[in-house]
Amino acid sequence: MDREPGPSVRLKLTLSYAGFLMVAGALLLASVWFFLLRDLPDVKNGIGGLQVRKQLALHFASGAAAVMVFLLVFGLLGGWVLAGRMLAPLARITDATHQAANGTLSHRIRLPGRRDEFRDLADDFDTMLARLEAHVAEQRRFAANASHELRTPLATSKALLDVARSDPTHDPGELVERLHAVNTRAIGLTEALLLVSRAEQRSFPRERVDLSLLAEEATETLLPLAEKHGVGVETDGDLTPASGSPALLLQLTMNLVHNAIVHNLPDGGTVRVSTGAGPGTALLTVENTGERLTPELTATLTEPFRRGTERLHTDHAGVGLGLAIVRTITRAHDGTLTLTPRPEGGLRVTVELPAP
Ligand SMILES: Nc1ncnc2c1ncn2[C@@H]1O[C@H](COP(=O)(O)OP(=O)(O)OP(=O)(O)O)[C@@H](O)[C@H]1O
Ligand SMILES: [Mg+2]
């Protein structure tokens, strides 16, 4: 916003200090005159008394004027110094806001001293800067990772086409098949990215959904995959009402059950999907057997493009967006997502949503 320049706060404070000092001084002098000097008994009566009174008044007035001039100078100087000291933290805060406005988010004010209004403001500002910086870094990482992941299928297609061009005897059927697979993966990735951004914008209608029905639907859809991986799936739970987008919540459940199946033991693993209503909340828990996970690794799994163990060349080459999508959808529904490694191996994921 463009504003007209005005007097500085320091100047205004100085003038008010000096003003108050003058008013207080004037009042003091007036009361001295009024209560002490005016009623002096020996100057009360007679012509001679009047003369003395006049002289006294003159004398008092000149003394008072000198005092007032002194107070004015003292008030202005003292006020200027005091206001400067009071407002010093503001200069640091202003400097930091200017830097932030110019795009430098790494600067912190870090005002020393004990707590007061300025320190509170500075601390809140520092917290806000830290959050903003982390958010921007996360967005940048996301964009970099997304471009990198999208480049991979394109580069693979190009390599396939190059090989086909340089070798005309190559089987075109195989080429088409492989190109098709690469293309499908790229579409899947793009759709996942779109899903994340749509859930982040929270632009979806909310309706009443029953989590137990979603769990059933997800497990039923993924049953063939579970059979292929030799994983047994159990579901239990009664009516668990929540409010939100049925499509997004189904996606969330599918991602969790999918993970529980594919990141399980090589053979004979199990998955348990349970739902239940707590006080004011709706809970969805997906638990699976599998490799042992450390709490440190578990804490990073919800980051986009994070794959726990790098096995890009197995038949399940995930992109690492499944849990990031779950996290985004949970947040968009004002819920919380908790990942806990199971002591005996595998993972327990809990989604807690507010009850409608
Ligand atoms: N239920 C689970 N049990 C054990 N590990 C898991 C489980 N769910 C996720 N993980 C680990 O977390 C990582 C990230 O999971 P995420 O779903 O985000 O990506 P992904 O499954 O690798 O790929 P996709 O984008 O296809 O889902 C996985 O690579 C896996 O190592
Ligand atoms: Mg996954």
Confidence tier at 317 by pLDDT (50, 70, 90): low
Nearest ligand for residue 314 CA: 1
Q: What is the Cα–Cα distance from 174 to 71, expressed in whole angstroms? A: 97
Does residue 318 register a pLDDT over 70? yes
State residue 46's pLDDT score: 59
Q: What is the pLDDT of residues 112-155, one digit of tens each?
A: 999 999 999 999 999 999 999 999 998 888 888 888 888 888 99
Q: What is the Cα–Cα distance from 203 to 39, expressed in whole angstroms? A: 82
- Tell whether pTM > 0.75: no
Element (H, E) at 351: strand 347-354
Whether residue 94 contacts residue 101, with contact meaning beta carbons closer than 8 Å, is answered with no
Q: Which residues surround ligand 2, an ion (CB under 5 A)?
A: 259, 318, 322
Q: Ligand 1 pocket check: which of 184, 257, 263 to mutate, most ligand atoms within 8 Å of Cβ?
A: 263
CA–centroid distance, residue 210 to ligand 1 (Å): 25
Phi, psi of 337 (to 5 degrees): -115, 130
Ligand 1 residue neighbourhood (C-beta within 6 Å): 259-260, 263, 288, 290, 301, 306-309, 318-324, 346-347
Counting from 1 in the atom list of ligand 1, the atom nearest the Cα of 349 is 1
| Strand ranges in 116-267 using DSSP code E only, listed in sequence order | 207-210, 231-236, 241-244
Whether residue 352 contacts residue 336, with contact meaning beta carbons closer than 8 Å, is answered with yes
CA–centroid distance, residue 159 to ligand 1 (Å): 28
State residue 41's pLDDT score: 58
